[in-house]
Amino acid sequence: MKQYMNFIGGEFVATGKTFENRAPVDNRVLGQVHEAGAEEVDAAVRSARAALGGEWGRMTVTRRVELLHAVADEINRRFDEFLAAEMADTGKPHALASHVDIPRGAANFKVFADIVKNVPSESFEMATPDGGQALNYAVRSPLGVIGVVCPWNLPLLLMTWKVGPALACGNTVVVKPSEETPATATLLGEVMNAVGIPPGVYNVVHGFGPGSAGEFLTRHPGVDGITFTGETRTGEAIMAAAAKGVRPVSFELGGKNAGIVFADADFEKAVAGITRSAFENCGQVCLGTERVYVERSIFDRFVAALKAKAEALKPGPSEETGVGIGPLISQEHRQKVLSYYERAVRDGATVVTGGGVPAMKGALAEGHWVQPTIWTGLPESAAVIREEIFGPCCHIAPFDTEEEAIALANATDYGLATTVWTQNLGRAHRVAKQVQVGICWINSWFLRDLRTAFGGAKASGIGREGGVHSLEFYTELRNVCIKL
Ligand code: NAD
């Protein structure tokens, strides 16, 4: 049976306590995960601290960049292993994992290494009161030991999105992957050793949140900053832990994102775009669309077209040809999503399609499948319109004016992303300016340039990562003022 061990100081560390890692497609046991206790977390933080004072801390940027490029190259060399591990842990379709998850996992190291290598620093000359001159210039130092707490929906992609820039800036990290998806973070330990990243620079501790590795890590006084992606409620707990010692946090949290489709949109492209944004990764994408607002004149046609697309998504295991949708991550999460499916009906929704569990054959019947689901007819106060479900479902409501569409999109506690579909250029700019989100896509969704700012407004996050914005979190900026 496969063993997923902690990775501390360049070595794989077993513990006396293990838990099962299960496959979402059929609930079979994939292996045993070694849960880190307070002692292992402490050892990981200490090894990260020691590495800061060693070879890594003294390394030139040029060498660091070379090493991070080597990490990316090694991930690409072992692409099939990473792909298999990610598909087993998440059950996501091959097309998605092979085109998005693993390539982005590698790219995150190269892109941020290059940004750190190329970004200039500011300098200002000034006159001094005695008639002389002074020169100010800025120096960036690593923040220190970074605690990286990750979710399960895009495990390698979202973890390296933080580890890439953190290491590029010269920090060391202790990663706490999700208990649901331990594989690729563990595999990355082998990659780090293979390319010669010094021991202690990259550490992994496995376990859960409260009373386990997540809490031990975020409460550890030796952690200088915490970057977290996950639920807003978890963010609140981590923020409280980080308050001790006033440690900085960078948070990418939940969403309840709106899609707005105007009658002047390219209809087919809008339908295809909303299909992706609502159902991709079985709806387990923070940027996903769970609220769709469609201009009234095309409402019925749009609902019918989206229904057809949802019903055409074939459920199945990752490698099967033609599979359009995988399972949810766990039985527990499936229970949560199905409880929202029931709630929608109780609240009076018209179920356009789905609402239940697809019939799966053989071992797959044990998997965490749900049907892609579309509702109409609910008031905006309904739970499935207010709360993040994180499943393959959306509610569609009609609107009459641009102002109304913007107001509906903004009427949420969250503020992560919006996708807007229109061919009217002026309208696109007007809407983009008024939606209260961190990311606004026009005639597209999940189109990502890693140099751009990424993050959420309102309850969807704190701070921005991506491009030079990542440097703001992962470094301390020091101004040096020299009297000439
Ligand atoms: P989660 O908050 O349940 O767990 C995320 C991580 O936090 C896990 O590793 C977990 O073990 C850990 N954790 C839980 N409680 C903790 C605690 N008290 N202290 C320390 N660590 C703790 O989230 P999830 O279910 O893994 O992921 C889904 C959520 O993530 C959704 O809300 C989704 O919107 C959000 N998400 C956001 C983004 C973004 O970029 N904004 C991206 C992906 C996912």
User: How many angstroms separate the alpha carbon of residue 215 from the centre of ligand 1?
Assistant: 13
How many Cα atoms are found within 13 Å in the side-chain-facing hemisphere of 17? Answer: 12
Nearest protein CA to atom 13 of ligand 1, as residue: 209
Is 286 assigned a catalytic role? yes
- Name the residue at shortest CA distance from atom 20 of ligand 1: 214
Report, as an integer, the average pLDDT of 380-403.
98
Residues with a CB atom less than 6 Å from ligand 1: 149-153, 158, 176, 178-179, 208-210, 214-215, 218, 229-231, 234, 237-238, 252-255, 286, 388, 390, 416, 456, 460-461
- The average pLDDT across 205-214 equals 98
How far is Cα 207 from Cα 16, in angstroms, rounded to an integer? 13
455 confidence band (pLDDT: 50, 70, 90): very high
pLDDT at 2 over 90: yes
Is 394 a known active-site residue? no
Instruction: Give residue 9's pLDDT.
Output: 98
pLDDT of residue 1: 86
In this prediction, residues 83-95 reach a mean pLDDT of 98
Question: What is the mean pLDDT of the segment spanning 217-232?
Answer: 98
Tell whether the model's pLDDT for residue 205 goes beyond 90: yes
C-alpha distances in Å from residue 382, one per residue of 336, 340, 343, 387, 415: 16, 10, 9, 9, 18
The residue written with tokens 């790219």 in the block is 107
- Segment 390-407 mean pLDDT: 98
Q: Which of 90, 244, 286, 446 to mutate to test the pocket of ligand 1 (most atoms within 8 A of CB)?
A: 286
Give just the sign of the alpha carbon dihedral 69, 70, 72, 73.
Answer: positive
Distance CA 166, CA 66 (A): 15
| Pairing mode of beta strands 373-376, 393-399 | parallel
Its pTM stands at 0.97
Q: Work out the angle between the directed axes of helices 183-195 and 155-168 (0-180°, nearest 10).
A: 40
**Residue 357: Cβ-neighbour burial (10 angstroms; 0-12, 13-18, 19+):** middle
Domains of the chain: 2-253+460-483 (3.40.605.10), 257-449 (3.40.309.10)
Q: Please count the CA atoms within 13 angstroms of the CA of 357 that sit on its side-chain side.
A: 17
- The 10s digit of each residue's pLDDT in 109-155 is 999 999 999 999 999 999 999 999 999 999 999 999 999 999 999 99
- CA-CA-CA-CA torsion sign (52, 142, 174, 114): negative
Mean pLDDT of 96-118: 98
Average pLDDT over every residue of 184-193: 98
Q: What is the pLDDT of residues 36-77, one digit of tens each?
A: 999 999 999 999 999 999 999 999 999 999 999 999 999 999
| pLDDT, position 453 | 97
Atom of ligand 1 nearest to the CA of 390: 31
| Over residues 456-461, mean pLDDT | 98
Q: Mean pLDDT throughout 350-368?
A: 98
Nearest to residue 287, comparing CAs of 337, 238, 229? 229
